[in-house]
Amino acid sequence: MKSSDASRLTLILLFAPFALWIILLIILPQIGVGWLSLREKLGPREYAFGFGNYLDFFREPIYWNTLLRTAWISVLVTILALLIGFPVAWYIAKIARQRSRAALFLMCLIPLWVSDLVRAFGWILLLRETGIVSGMLQWAGLSSGPVELLYNDITVVIGMVYTVVLFMIVPLVSTLDGMDNALLEAGYNLGGSRMTVFRRIVIPYAMPGIVAGCIITFMLAAGSYLTPILLGGKNSMWFTEQIYEQFVTRYNWESGATFGVLLLVFTSAVVWLGLRLTGQNLASTVAKE
């Protein structure tokens, strides 16, 4: 039939760009990295295949310590972003009036559109020895000399929470926005306390938003580069920095690829675990508008 031929043709035409994109830019490159990570350099232009690169990773404590450190700071950042972001999302979605709601939401979004680099740069100007906070402390007499607030873990965490908290707020606002206040009223009406209403009604309702926010936040945190490097200093021990160093400074692509695979496997595992524990799936959480 003519019409079914036409519809098959459009299907092929629509499928082609998708297939090209996903195969050439995602699947084959990932396979390439996986393949490279299994290649061991024996000498110039002389290679063998095996898990040597992975063994090297586990033999060298500094490498896996860096991965663990990256992991736990990322988890910490995710939790803090949730704790800090939830009240804000709640205010925007549930308390603010219609008009100020849009304005508040926009205010939350504007820093989103400014590069990581600018944000980190701003923190540096605030926190370094000659920075604004240090100056303020001296001026107020709280400190006798310049204070260096950069290059420590707390600063890294503060800066990273700053970078990712917006990605937590956006999905939270959109889920909470969909929650009818009548649910809360019914909860109270049936005798629930603030705590039970929050635990039994609000949290389950907001779960898809919480999961989506946590996934995005965690991925961004674990994959971030600028903030931990610039705020943590050169010895901040961040895993993406290791990858960069292997690729660019040491020109050891094999071990860089190995680290890349490890980071991807590790973050995917955390995301998968999070989805399993909360009973959500990737398409419905992340793809929600």
For residues 93 and 173, is the Cβ–Cβ distance under 8 A? Answer: yes
Helix then strand count (H, E) for the chain reads 15, 2
Give the total of residues touching another protein (CB under 8 A): 83
Report 124-153 residues binding another protein (CB under 8 A): 124-126, 130-132, 135
- Work out whether 198 is an interface residue with another protein (CB under 8 A): no
Residue identified by tokens 């389950």 is: 204
- Smallest separation, CB 271 to another protein (Å): 6
What residues between 245 and 274 interact with another protein by CB under 8 A? 247-248, 253, 256-257, 260, 263-264, 267-268, 271
Handedness of CA 201, 205, 206, 212 (dihedral sign): positive
Which of 42, 25, 33, 27 is CA-nearest to residue 257? 33
Nearer to another protein, 15 or 51 (CB): 15
In the window 53-112, what residues touch another protein (CB under 8 A)? 84, 87-88, 90-91, 94-95, 106-112
Query: Is residue 280 near another protein by the rule CB under 8 A?
Result: no
Task: For another protein, give the closer residue by CB, 52 or 215.
Answer: 215
Q: Counting contacts by CB under 8 A, is residue 178 touching another protein?
A: no
Using rule CB under 8 A, residue 283 touches another protein: yes
- Between 144 and 189, whose beta carbon lies closer to another protein? 189
Among 54, 69, 116, 192, binds another protein (CB under 8 A): 116
**Residue 167 φ/ψ region, left for φ over 0, alpha for ψ in the -120 to 50 degree band, beta for the rest:** alpha
Asked if 121 touches another protein (CB under 8 A), the answer is yes
Q: Tell which one of 86, 123, 155, 175 touches another protein (CB under 8 A).
A: 123
Q: Shortest distance, CB of residue 201 to another protein, whole angstroms? A: 11
**Which segment (32-40, 47-55, 148-156, 203-211) binds another protein by CB under 8 A?**
32-40
Buried b or exposed e, range 251-282, using 16+ CB within 10 angstroms: eebbbbbbbbbbbeebbeebbeebbeeeebee
- The secondary structure of 109-177 as a DSSP string is HGGGGS-HHHHHHHHHHHHSTTSHHHHHHHHTTS-SS-----SSHHHHHHHHHHHHHHHHHHHHHHHHH
